[in-house]
A and B are shown apart, each in its own frame.
Chain A
Amino acid sequence: MTVLFGIFLLTLLVITAVAIVRTRNLVVAVMLLGIFSLLLAINFFLLDAADVALTEAAVGAGISTVLFLGALALTSEFEHRRESARRRALSLLVVASAALVIVYATFDKPRFGDPDAPVLSYLGPWYLEETPEYVDIPNVVTAVLGSFRGYDTLGEVFVVFTAGIGVLFLLSARQQGTGVGRRKVDLRDEVLLVVVGRLLVPFILLFGLYVQFHGEYGPGGGFQAGALVAAGFILYSLIEGEKRALSALPLRALTVLTVGGTLLYGGVGVAGMLMGSNFLAYSVLTGDPVTGQKLGIILIEAGVGMTVCGVLLTIYHAFARREPAQ
């Protein structure tokens, strides 16, 4: 039954993707991309990846859609059919032959869910066996993310941080307005959406905090929580306006969150070195190695959450406050 449901969802995914490519209205394409992300999130859930599903739902269906719409408001909402029929035919030929090659290559891959597949035989079981002993938290994904592969995660946080700085460099220089009165149709005029939105915001924020602090025991962690809290504030900003959103959480506070989160993560790493071990070794943080691991993971997850939330909101405000070009 689950297999059938999975096949149904995957087919829907392909249909949505085709519709995205075919439509000439970019707003429609962006809304379809949101639906695509939601379908993908359900697929991830069926494939046992609860943490990934949570992230995809918050980031792909929520924040990505809003950012694309913000960019469309500053550029143009329609795509004019400019490419020649020859170019489209040639592109179609290229992708069709490449797809055939990839499909041919899949015949050598292990079948879906095969327990003897090489990818399932070596590293994965090791993490599953060693996590209870070294870290002793139920969520193995959080343990791998925070402790075993903490270097990777630090790198990812730096990439997110750098992307935030990049968007600020690109968009904050001039033409900075309040963003008020630039849209002809405003979400604030839709009474139903405003009432429902106001009710939802506190619960989204509460859920975000739950996901942050319960990430060691259930699906969750800094990446998901940061995206959820950012989505909550974006919704608040959409229904109450930029001005009120910025007085609730000013840009200066967002900078502190962004920089503070990255510093907190790096600081935990340096603390490990100062206390006589390696960079990002949490076991020495307290007397007991396992408690040290737990403390380290809680701290770096907090850093990740702060940075992700800060960067996503900074990016959103950079788009929302910019006046469209004449």
Chain B
Amino acid sequence: MNVLGLYNYWVFAVLLMIGFYAVIANTNLIKKLIGLSIFQAAVFLLYITMGKISGGTAPILPKGVSDAVYSNPLPQVLILTAIVVGISTTALGLGVLVRIKEEYGSIDERDIQEIDRQ
């Protein structure tokens, strides 16, 4: 149990690095953006994991219950807004990609660099 208690953090580390790998190893720009989404999701998982308390429940306080244990609401608030901001910025990135495709005819990093050199 002691070692399993860190499993969430290990998954965070692995997901973070899978996302980072997609960003640095691929030349396709959409794949890079997908990698960034995974990277971002790993950070969400880290925050929510840290707010969890064992035996706790969601921080919604019903009337007349006083002895319940609640998880920390603050990381949840931060991540809740971050998810919506994340999709907006991803959409902006996709918009840039569509324009790149229209101007360069490709969304591959190498093609774009070759055209830029000419």
Residue among B4, B6, B51 making CB contact with A109, cutoff 8 Å: B6
Given contact pairs A98-B20, A138-B61, A123 touches B26 in the complex (Cβ within 8 A) = no
Closest approach, in angstroms, between the C-beta of A135 and any C-beta of chain B? 11
Which 3 residue pairs of A and B lie closest in terms of their CB atoms, listed nearest first?
Answer: A113-B54, A111-B5, A124-B72
Decide if B72 touches A79 in the complex (CB within 8 Å). Answer: no
Decide if A7 touches B98 in the complex (CB within 8 Å). Answer: no
Decide if B25 touches A71 in the complex (CB within 8 Å). Answer: no
CB of A252 closer than 8 Å to a CB of B: no
Closest approach, in angstroms, between the C-beta of A38 and any C-beta of chain B? 12
Closest approach, in angstroms, between the C-beta of B115 and any C-beta of chain A? 14
In the complex, which residues 86-125 of chain A have their Cβ closer than 8 Å to any Cβ of chain B? 87-88, 91-92, 94-96, 98-99, 102-103, 106-107, 109, 111-115, 117, 119-120, 123-124
Docked pose: A227 CA to B88 CA in angstroms = 11
Residue among A26, A112, A140, A311 making CB contact with B6, cutoff 8 Å: A112
Given contact pairs A72-B30, A79-B26, A128-B73, A48 touches B8 in the complex (Cβ within 8 A) = no
Q: Number of contacting residues on B, CB 8 A?
A: 86
Question: Could you count the A-B residue pairs with CB atoms below 8 Å apart for me: how many are there?
Answer: 299
Docked pose: A193 CA to B3 CA in angstroms = 46
Q: Which of A145-153, A238-246, A268-276, A289-297 contacts B (4 or more CB under 8 A)?
A: A145-153
Decide if A75 touches B101 in the complex (CB within 8 Å). Answer: yes
Instruction: Write out the residue numbers on chain B whose beta carbons fall within 8 Å of the beta carbon of A283.
Output: none
Closest approach, in angstroms, between the C-beta of B65 and any C-beta of chain A? 10
Decide if A95 touches B9 in the complex (CB within 8 Å). Answer: no
Closest approach, in angstroms, between the C-beta of B11 and any C-beta of chain A? 4
Residue among A10, A13, A43, A94 making CB contact with B24, cutoff 8 Å: A94
Interface residue tally on A, bucketed by range: 35 or more
Given contact pairs A17-B18, A68-B94, A26 touches B31 in the complex (Cβ within 8 A) = yes
Given contact pairs A67-B90, A145-B77, A149-B77, A80 touches B108 in the complex (Cβ within 8 A) = yes
Binary per-residue interface labels of chain B (64-78) against chain A in the complex, 1 for a CB within 8 Å, 0 otherwise = 000001111111111
Binary per-residue interface labels of chain A (161-181) against chain B in the complex, 1 for a CB within 8 Å, 0 otherwise = 001101100110001000000
Having A49-B51, A223-B81, one finds 18 other A-B pairs with CB under 8 Å, namely A11-B11, A14-B14, A33-B38, A48-B71, A49-B71, A70-B94, A74-B98, A82-B110, A99-B16, A112-B52, A113-B54, A120-B72, A138-B61, A144-B73, A153-B81, A163-B92, A164-B88, A171-B98
Decide if A49 touches B58 in the complex (CB within 8 Å). Answer: yes
CB of A201 closer than 8 Å to a CB of B: no
Q: Which A residue's beta carbon lies closest to that of B21? A: A95
Decide if A112 touches B11 in the complex (CB within 8 Å). Answer: no
Decide if A223 touches B84 in the complex (CB within 8 Å). Answer: yes
Q: Which of A53-61, A183-191, A202-210, A259-267 contacts B (4 or more CB under 8 A)?
A: A53-61
Interface of B is mostly: helix
Instruction: Write out the residue numbers on chain A whose beta carbons fall within 8 Å of the beta carbon of B61.
Output: 128, 131-132, 138-140
Residue among A75, A227, A318 making CB contact with B84, cutoff 8 Å: A227
Q: Which B residue's beta carbon lies closest to that of A21? A: B22
Decide if B107 touches A76 in the complex (CB within 8 Å). Answer: yes
Decide if B7 touches A75 in the complex (CB within 8 Å). Answer: no
CB of A29 closer than 8 Å to a CB of B: yes
Docked pose: A37 CA to B71 CA in angstroms = 22
Closest approach, in angstroms, between the C-beta of B84 and any C-beta of chain A? 5
CB pairs A–B below 8 angstroms (25 shown):
A44-B44, A47-B51, A48-B52, A49-B51, A67-B91, A70-B94, A74-B101, A76-B101, A92-B21, A96-B17, A102-B16, A103-B9, A112-B49, A114-B54, A115-B53, A119-B72, A128-B70, A141-B77, A144-B77, A152-B78, A156-B85, A226-B84, A311-B88, A315-B91, A325-B105
Docked pose: A175 CA to B103 CA in angstroms = 13
Instruction: Write out the residue numbers on chain A whose beta carbons fall within 8 Å of the beta carbon of B51.
Output: 47-49, 119-120, 124
